[in-house]
Amino acid sequence: MDKKDAAVVEEADEKSPILGKGKDFLNSRAFGLILITTSAISYGLSASLVSLESDIATPLLLAVRFMGTFGFNAIACVIMGVDLSVEKGNRQLVLIRSVCGFASFVCGTYAFQNMPVGEATVIISMAPVFVAIFSMCLLGVRARPCQIVMIILSLVGVVLIMDPTTWDTSESLSIVAVFTAVGQAFFKSLSYISIKKSNNRVYFMTMIFWYSLSAVSACILFIGILYPILSATGSSTAWLWTNCTTSQILILITISFLGFLAQLTLTKAAQLINTTTISLIRNSDILVTMIFQICFESIWPDWMQWIGMVLMIVCTVTILLTKEEPGKEEEEK
């Protein structure tokens, strides 16, 4: 990695009145493991709360969530004196991160609101599978036979989670929700790759700032255009806007803060530990959401869905732990 690019992050940390202290620990692998664990727990709790608030319109939920992430991050950037400028050569990575991150959250929010949180989380945990595929296609990393087998088996796991025996009954999972959950995994994997490629070239809080700002702008534009049109034509706006109660507002604020915390810790952890470790620990949010689902929603997966969950987890862990062949970029170096 270019020394000049690496110096950008190092200089920003040194100038920060917060990150400048305890520099050795804040740049250690141990701190990175703490960050990614915090990210997994925060995201798991956030996803669980989203699943409970299915009555809130998805566009409004997304807008508030991104506004919270943007607001908390902007305050932190001001306090820490973060430089928000991005060099011309790195703007494409920031754009990819913003678009894929926004699409990932849209798909994930819809999935969590329209299917049990445990099943949604496990399907979304296919992200490392897509990472392996994109690494082969985009980064020139050669696939091992074991990886190909695990990718196929993980897709079988998705089918089992959907529980084919209930497809013709009212208890079946929403097909649209399942596809949006898979879409969340797809876009999240692209987001991971963009974050990793931008390491030490774009400061992690700068990346979050532009990502959340673009997402907030998209949500406000979407609601701002459609709401007056729907109101003028007499169409229902219930799917676009919800008049929230006080308790729902407090939950939305909590979701926003947890989302910001998950993004902050994930992006910074990407600079300290490798992608394999990040993805592996990040998927531990399955345990958080499954415990939440059983304790607060009294939803127990059936035997077929348990098999699908275990199969997907085993496949994902196997792919993550399988040593990859060097990519074209690494061979050139």
Nearest to 277 by CA among 131, 144, 102, 73: 131
Q: How many CB atoms lie within 10 A of CB 155?
A: 15
241-269 residues labelled b (16+ CB within 10 A) or e (exposed): bbebeeebeebbeebbbbbbbbbbbbbbb
Looking at residue 106, its pLDDT comes to 83
> Which of residues 291 and 106 earns the better pLDDT score?
106
pLDDT reading at 267 higher than 50: yes
Q: What would the pLDDT profile of 313-326 be if each residue is shown by its tens digit? A: 787 677 656 655 54
Confidence of residue 220 (pLDDT cuts 50, 70, 90): confident
Looking at residue 75, its pLDDT comes to 92
Confidence of residue 276 (pLDDT cuts 50, 70, 90): low
Looking at residue 141, its pLDDT comes to 61
Cα separation of 217 and 212, whole Å?
9
Cβ(223)–Cβ(59) below 8 Å: yes
Residues of the chain above pLDDT 90, percent: 3
* Signed CA dihedral, 168, 173, 175, 179: sign only: negative
Cα separation of 132 and 85, whole Å?
32
Confidence of residue 233 (pLDDT cuts 50, 70, 90): confident
Cα separation of 52 and 112, whole Å?
9
Looking at residue 169, its pLDDT comes to 45
Looking at residue 168, its pLDDT comes to 44
Q: Where are the alpha helices (DSSP H) in the chain?
A: 3-15, 23-26, 29-52, 58-80, 91-114, 117-124, 127-138, 145-162, 175-197, 204-233, 246-269, 275-282, 285-296, 303-321, 328-332
142 Cβ partners below 8 Å, 6+ apart? 136, 324, 325
Confidence of residue 329 (pLDDT cuts 50, 70, 90): very low
> Which of residues 40 and 22 earns the better pLDDT score?
40
Q: What would the pLDDT profile of 144-199 be if each residue is shown by its tens digit? A: 677 677 767 776 776 676 665 554 444 456 788 888 888 988 888 888 778 777 76
111 Cβ partners below 8 Å, 6+ apart? 120, 123, 124, 177, 178, 180, 181, 184
Cα separation of 323 and 109, whole Å?
33
Q: What would the pLDDT profile of 66-110 be if each residue is shown by its tens digit? A: 888 899 889 989 998 888 888 888 888 888 888 888 888 888 878
Confidence of residue 295 (pLDDT cuts 50, 70, 90): confident
267 Cβ partners below 8 Å, 6+ apart? 195, 204, 205, 207, 208
Cα separation of 7 and 81, whole Å?
17
Q: What would the pLDDT profile of 100-142 be if each residue is shown by its tens digit? A: 888 888 888 788 777 776 667 677 777 777 877 777 776 666 6
Provide the terminal-to-terminal Cα distance of the chain, rounded to the nearest Å.
10
Cα separation of 213 and 8, whole Å?
22
Looking at residue 192, its pLDDT comes to 77
Average pLDDT over the chain, rounded to an integer:
76
Mean pLDDT of 35-40: 86
Cα angle 49, 53, 56 (rounded to 5 degrees) comes to: 135
Mean pLDDT of 19-27: 62
